């Protein structure tokens, strides 16, 4: 990502909560994920697409989603402009 703003602009609080749900659930369908978080299936589907683009989750052969990580660590460096 060209800047932390670009990454963090796509990783909203709602999307981060989806990642946590997926990590604890293992493989889960989008419909079941939406039910667990109490959100609209279409909106969860859109968020899942973005999370997959970010590489935080993966789509499964069964049409569900999973998180291939047991731990996610975000590390950013900020430097004073020269």
Residue 38 structure tokens = 């109490």
Q: Cα–chain-centroid distance for residue 4?
A: 16
- What is the pLDDT at residue 25? 92
Tens-binned pLDDT, residue by residue, of the chain (82 aa): 677 777 778 889 999 999 999 999 989 999 999 999 999 999 999 999 999 998 999 999 999 999 999 998 877 677 787 7
- What is the pLDDT at residue 1? 63
Q: How far apart are CA 9 and CA 82, in angstroms?
A: 25
């Amino acid at each position: 990502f060209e800047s932390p703003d670009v990454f963090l602009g796509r990783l909203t609080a709602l999307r981060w909560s989806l990642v946590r749900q997926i990590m604890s659930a293992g493989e889960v369908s989008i419909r079941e994920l939406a039910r667990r978080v109490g959100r609209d299936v279409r909106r969860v589907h859109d968020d899942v697409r973005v999370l997959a683009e970010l590489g935080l989750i993966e789509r499964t052969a069964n049409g569900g989603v999973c998180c291939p990580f047991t731990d996610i660590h975000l590390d950013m460096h900020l430097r004073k402009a020269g």
